[in-house]
Amino acid sequence: MNKVLVTGGAGFIGSNFVHHMLRCYRDLTMVNLDSLTYAGNLGNLSDLKEDSRHIFIRGSVGDSDLLTELFSEHAFDAVVNFAAETHVDRSLRDARPFLDTNLGGTQNLLDAARAGGAGRFVQISTDEVYGSLGEQGRFTEHSPITPNNPYSATKAGADFLALAAHESHDLDVVITRCSNNYGPFQFPEKLIPLMIGNALDDKRLPVYGDGLHVRDWIHVDDHCAAIDTVLRTGRAGEIYNVGSMHDVPNVEVVKEILHHLGKPESLIQYVEDRPGHDRRYAIDASKIQNELGWSPTVSFRDGLKATVEWYVNSKDWLDEIRSGDYQVYYQKMYGDRDRSTGIRPV
């Protein structure tokens, strides 16, 4: 494999994946297409400015003419599609960008990959397409698809489009569905960087509902290694769940962050829950472990500690990200939830 197109490669997981691949494979060229919306940040790739193996192109997967041009100019061995609108809260306020990018953009990219002869297409999905679990059990690749918000619904639709391209046109498609990621360069609308940033500034830490919503947390480095494994050895037409089997209630994650920073738990403020908030996610990753030999290597305790330290040491990056438009967004999301719900964990 000599040349890979990565879409959304200036975002959190995408930029970490670019770094992972260039670190592991010296003869690989990564063409990175990103439209640099609010969550895309060239600062995530600043150390690659002089690396000829990284070619950055600003553009959208919604631009079918640009995609045609790219595939005409480059002989891609594979496509890895991270490009997506990803935040549930934003999708609840305005679903249109999620339809345009997650559905329309994915179909454009599938069409271009098929016409351009890309060898493999890896669709980066999410465990949220499965909906919410009860108190027991884990999502497998055969779990029903029951999304509960516009974000997860459009990601589920993108998965179906990718599988349809495999069945209808014999495109070499593989799908990964991962649990909640954390690590460097994550946009501070997501739980862990949001809480780190607020705690550093001694601001309140808004926790939805009773704080007992459970997520399976995986370090982004482990996720990138899993995608690399699927890219190289996954079976066409298959879906692979990726997770660390470390299920933690949100409020426990927040308390751990406060512990690492030496901040009091009194900074936690429980706020009104968001609509359709899935109660519990948990991933069964035995398929990728048994078939492809991947397994996570970063413990949650060590990974969270390292992540907190990264944000502490990258305060300038965090402050720049949180300026301007982000403040407007933050006020929209949490300003009208300023009152405490009075709910506490049991």
Is 151 part of the annotated catalytic residue set? Answer: yes
DSSP code of residue 184: T
Alpha carbons within 13 angstroms on the beta-carbon side of residue 277 total 16
Q: Contact, 251 vs 273, CB < 8 A?
A: no
Classify the phi-psi angles of 134: left when phi > 0, otherwise alpha if psi is within -120 to 50, otherwise beta: beta
Could you say which of 89, 127, 216, 228 is catalytic? 127
Please identify which of the residues 151, 208, 281, 334 carries the catalytic annotation. Answer: 151
Kind and range of the H or E run holding 228: helix 220-233
Q: Which of 34, 89, 111, 128 is catalytic?
A: 128
CB contact at 8 A, 196 and 257:
yes
Nearest Cα residue to 12 out of 38, 30, 39: 39
Give residue 14's identity as a one-letter amino acid code: G
Phi, then psi, of 324 in degrees rounded to 5 = 60, -125
Active site residue 128: yes
Neighbours of 27 (CB within 10 A): 7
Catalytic residues: 127-128, 151
